[in-house]
Amino acid sequence: MASIGIVGGTGYTGSELLRLLSGHPHVEVRVITSRAEAGQRVADALPMLRGRTELVFADPADAPLADCDLVFFATPNGTAMAQAQALLDEGVRVVDLAADFRIKDVALWEYWYGMPHAAPALVDQAVYGLPELNRSAIEQARLVANPGCYPTAITLGLLPLLESGVIDPTRIIADGKSGVSGAGRKATTGLLMAEVGESFKAYSVAGHRHEPEIEQTLRLCTGETVSLTFVPHLVPMVRGIEATMYAPLIRTVPDLTEIVARRYRDEPCVDVMPADLPLETRSVRGSNLCRISVLEPQSKGVVVVQAVIDNLIKGAAGQAVQNMNLMLGFPELAGLDSVALAP
């Protein structure tokens, strides 16, 4: 059994890691930290884990993280970059679920995240943890930058069509919609159910941090200039992301679905759906899947790609576990084989 640590155990990605790892056959969570809850039993704070764990939240200051084989950072942006080097020096592998190591251009990162980067040297070393793109690199990585939730759905949706030169990379629209758990477990008025229930809105329309992350990946994959307009929206539900992407078709192809399906033929966590089946977020709720469908409506020269994920699983903790499995040599789906919970 590999020994696992989690820094930041009381947010949604932390508790989701605990949930997924509690059923993992090859690892054991040995340490979980929380400044606010230090000393409290995990199962008291997270009743769904009663009977599954005897862990107690450790104070970050004296948690024996260096004894772990791998440590997840399920922390706000800015935490992992301050602590990762010390763990790496001890031979601990690190997966950061926040954004600290996602963007290679440090100045760009600092612009969007509004703080100086504490460990620019590590940025180069970090592998962007999208297994469908970087599987071999992830297997060798010491430090993995787990992708953002929107970037996972949007990148997986667009990648095959961009790689095959079917759509214009300079005119991409991504209209994203997320359940409220994507905003984390911060006590803020704007996320109260009385504020966001039975309502719908766009947010961060002027610019969202996930846009440069998506553009970076798409540019690396295609070697071309990419221009993306991305507008996220908040859905009055708890879990799930749907992204609808639009791009001009620049090459006639007999079967759009076939292009996407071929790209992901051997991918265990991507399911390409026929365009005539409905693509609902509930079809991936609780699972580590990204489901995708693609079509060109009304022969108008615009390709529409839809992608759905569970933002906390394939969009966060599940993908982190998938990365961990690759890094530690376990079967890629260990701990990740749940069927989606629908209805």
Q: What are phi and psi of 279, to 5 degrees?
A: -115, 100
271 in contact with a second copy (CB under 8 A): yes
Only segment of 76-84, 257-265, 273-281, 322-330 that touches a second copy (CB under 8 A): 273-281
What is residue 194's three-state secondary structure?
helix
233 in contact with a second copy (CB under 8 A): yes
Q: Pick from 133, 183, 250, 253: which binds a second copy (CB under 8 A)?
A: 183
- Rounded to 5 degrees, what angle do the CA atoms 91, 92, 98 make? 140
Site for a second copy in 321-340 (CB under 8 A): 337-340
Cα separation, 317 vs 288, whole angstroms: 9
111 in contact with a second copy (CB under 8 A): no
Which residue blocks in 193-234 are alpha helix, DSSP H? Answer: 193-196, 210-222
265 in contact with a second copy (CB under 8 A): no
241-248 vs 302-309, strand pairing mode:
antiparallel
Only segment of 58-66, 85-93, 133-141, 300-308 that touches a second copy (CB under 8 A): 300-308
Q: Pick from 30, 102, 285, 314: which binds a second copy (CB under 8 A)?
A: 285
Q: Give the list of residues 6+ apart from residue 62 with CB closer than 8 angstroms, or none.
A: none
200: tokens are: 């719908």
Cα separation, 9 vs 250, whole angstroms: 46
Question: Looking at beta carbons only, is 24 or 93 nearer to a second copy?
Answer: 24
131 in contact with a second copy (CB under 8 A): no
Q: Give the list of residues 6+ apart from residue 152 with CB closer than 8 angstroms, or none.
A: 130, 290, 309, 314, 315, 319
> CB–CB of 45/21 below 8 Å?
no
Instruction: Give exposure, 306-331, as e/b (b: 16+ Cβ within 10 Å).
Output: bbbbbbbbbbbbbbbbbbbbbbbebe
341 in contact with a second copy (CB under 8 A): yes
Q: How many residues bind a second copy (CB under 8 A)?
A: 89
Question: Looking at beta carbons only, is 88 or 183 nearer to a second copy?
Answer: 183
32 in contact with a second copy (CB under 8 A): no
Residue 68: active-site member: no
Q: Pick from 1, 35, 40, 44: which binds a second copy (CB under 8 A)?
A: 44
**Pick the catalytic residue: 149, 221, 269, 290?**
149
91 in contact with a second copy (CB under 8 A): no
Q: Pick from 30, 93, 117, 177: which binds a second copy (CB under 8 A)?
A: 177
207 in contact with a second copy (CB under 8 A): yes
Only segment of 42-50, 117-125, 128-136, 252-260 that touches a second copy (CB under 8 A): 42-50
- Which residues, listed in sequence order, are joined to residue 176 by a DSSP beta bridge? 232, 243
Cα separation, 196 vs 176, whole angstroms: 17
Give catalytic residues, as residue numbers: 149
